[in-house]
């Protein structure tokens, strides 16, 4: 349809006005790059032959290669050859064979919560998704408090996840820089001071970023105060089996709280202990007082999940499902876990021995005392910066080392570089 000259003029004016209007996105501030994943990107672009990535928490073999667990390879072959599998949608909350096996793994086969059917579980987008779904649920249905306490120092994502859904996020002291261990008294004081009903985010094992865990007796003290103050335990378990090499040992704190009659949430990630980083297989389990409560909570999990991701992804969860539900594969998985956790423990000793040999000023026993993927070294941000610029060693600014990035080949170089910055920066 042809337009009159005045219509065309109007159209041109309209275009011009649009062009001079500010963008609706003009006010969007630039977000800083992610502290952990940006480091990996910078490391990858570094061409120095001595470079070391001890930033991200991802397991590497002694040759610094990503590790595909042998048991995962077997499960993949089974999946590949299974003609009955298709690519249909998963149930909204995931396959019960997967979510229940995950719940049994963390709570224990003999858990009263399992026996009495007062738990509910939903497959999530790894541990981050589990934290998010849990936070979203609590924001909507938990009426006692809108305060959530996370540890100081903390895993970077906890604050964002809880504050983005509307919680007022506070920190409880966790790391004592003097002892380079747990600030147990500080933690207890926070429990005493927190308003009734506050949520406490706890790492049951291999605390990220410090690698420092409470002892069993300390957990008992924490539980006692939490009961007195009616505080809500929200466990985030990303390293079961990875910390000590023993699945039961690493789940001890969660199981103790369940025994003590707490209602709680527990998040699981299968990124580290199955080496399934990219597959995003996770799980959120709630332990309730009654099976009726658990059922209603589950119905709300399904509702939340539907609006967030609709249905969870199948591939990674199928691998975990196969392994957790097969006796022989399960036993083999435990061996794979032992290999990973022991390699890390060996590297802790190797780094410690080198630093002692070099007579690096300070005490270093915390490196071998700490547990799991990370060691919190106590190095300052300036020392970390020099390690990067001078030695091409990449670690997070808080002085955290991912021990999985240390190998028999780079440990001497790492120790020498640390020695230099400790003496001179």
Tokens 């609709």 identify what position?
310
Q: Which of 155, 219, 333, 364 is catalytic?
A: 155
- For residue 379, what are the CA distances in angstroms to 52, 367, 384? 16, 12, 7
Query: Residues for the chain: how many in total?
Result: 425
In b/e form, how buried is each residue of 215-240, taking b as 16+ CB within 10 angstroms?
eeeebeebbebbeebebbbbbbbbbb
CB of 192 to ligand LMR, least distance (A): 29
Nearer to ligand LMR by Cβ, of 39 and 194: the residue is 39
Q: Which of 236, 250, 333, 364 is catalytic?
A: 236
CB of 128 to ligand LMR, least distance (A): 7
Pairing of strands 374-376, 400-402: antiparallel
Q: Which of 74, 183, 213, 272 is catalytic?
A: 272
CB of 324 to ligand LMR, least distance (A): 21
* 217 is known as an active-site residue: no
In b/e form, how buried is each residue of 373-401, taking b as 16+ CB within 10 angstroms?
bbbbbbbeeebbebbbeebbbbbbebbbb
Nearer to ligand LMR by Cβ, of 57 and 312: the residue is 57
Peptide bond into 209 cis (omega under 30): yes
The first and second tokens of residue 131, run together, are: 């934290």
Instruction: Report the residue closest to ligand LMR, judged by CB.
Output: 57
CB of 16 to ligand LMR, least distance (A): 47
Nearer to ligand LMR by Cβ, of 56 and 125: the residue is 56
* Site of interaction with ligand LMR (CB under 6 A): 36, 56-57, 155, 157, 208
CB of 36 to ligand LMR, least distance (A): 5
CA distance 136 to 148: 12
* 236 is known as an active-site residue: yes
Nearer to ligand LMR by Cβ, of 184 and 374: the residue is 374
Nearer to ligand LMR by Cβ, of 55 and 245: the residue is 55
Nearer to ligand LMR by Cβ, of 58 and 319: the residue is 58
CB of 399 to ligand LMR, least distance (A): 14
Give the 3-state DSSP-derived string for 328-350, with helices as H, strands as E and coil as C: HHHHHHHHHHHHHHHHHHHHHHH
CA distance 344 to 350: 10
Dihedral sign (CA 236, 241, 244, 247)? positive
* 419 is known as an active-site residue: no
Catalytic positions, written as ranges: 155, 236, 272
């Amino acid at each position: 349809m042809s337009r009159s000259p005045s219509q065309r003029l109007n159209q041109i004016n309209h275009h011009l006005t649009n062009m001079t209007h500010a963008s609706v996105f003009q006010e969007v501030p630039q977000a800083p790059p992610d502290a952990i994943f940006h480091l990996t990107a910078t490391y990858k672009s570094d061409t120095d032959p001595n470079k070391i990535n001890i930033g991200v928490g991802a397991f590497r073999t002694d040759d610094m290669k990503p590790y595909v667990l042998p048991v995962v390879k077997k499960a993949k072959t089974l999946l590949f050859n299974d003609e009955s599998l298709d690519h249909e949608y998963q149930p909204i909350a995931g396959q019960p064979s997967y979510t229940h096996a995950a719940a049994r793994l963390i709570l224990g086969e003999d858990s009263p919560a399992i026996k009495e059917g007062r738990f509910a579980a939903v497959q999530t987008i790894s541990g981050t998704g589990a934290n998010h779904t849990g936070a979203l649920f609590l924001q909507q249905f938990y009426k006692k408090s809108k305060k959530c306490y996370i540890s100081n120092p903390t895993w970077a994502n906890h604050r964002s996840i809880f504050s983005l859904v509307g919680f007022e996020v506070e920190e409880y002291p966790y790391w004592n820089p003097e002892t380079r261990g747990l600030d147990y008294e500080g933690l207890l004081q926070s429990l005493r001071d927190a308003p009734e009903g506050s949520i406490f985010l706890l790492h049951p094992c291999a605390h990220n970023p410090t690698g420092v865990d409470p002892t069993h007796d300390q957990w008992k003290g924490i539980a006692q105060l939490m009961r007195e103050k009616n505080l809500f335990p929200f466990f985030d378990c990303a390293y079961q089996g990875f910390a000590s090499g023993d699945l039961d040992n690493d789940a001890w704190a969660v199981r103790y709280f369940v025994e003590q009659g707490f209602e709680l949430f527990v998040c699981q990630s299968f990124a580290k202990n199955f080496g399934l980083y990219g597959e995003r297989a996770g799980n959120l389990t709630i332990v309730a007082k009654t099976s009726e409560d658990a059922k209603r909570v589950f119905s709300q999990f399904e509702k939340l999940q539907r609006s967030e991701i609709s249905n969870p992804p199948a591939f990674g969860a199928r691998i975990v499902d196969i392994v957790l539900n097969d006796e022989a594969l399960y036993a083999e998985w435990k061996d794979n876990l032992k290999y990973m956790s022991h390699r890390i423990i060996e590297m802790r000793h190797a780094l410690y021995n080198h630093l002692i040999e070099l007579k690096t000023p300070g005490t270093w026993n915390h490196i071998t005392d700490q547990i799991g993927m990370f060691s919190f070294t106590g190095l300052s941000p300036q020392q970390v910066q020099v390690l990067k610029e001078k030695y091409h060693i990449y670690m997070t600014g808080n002085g955290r080392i991912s021990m999985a990035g240390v190998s028999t080949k780079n440990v001497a170089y790492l120790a020498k570089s640390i020695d230099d910055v400790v003496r001179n920066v």
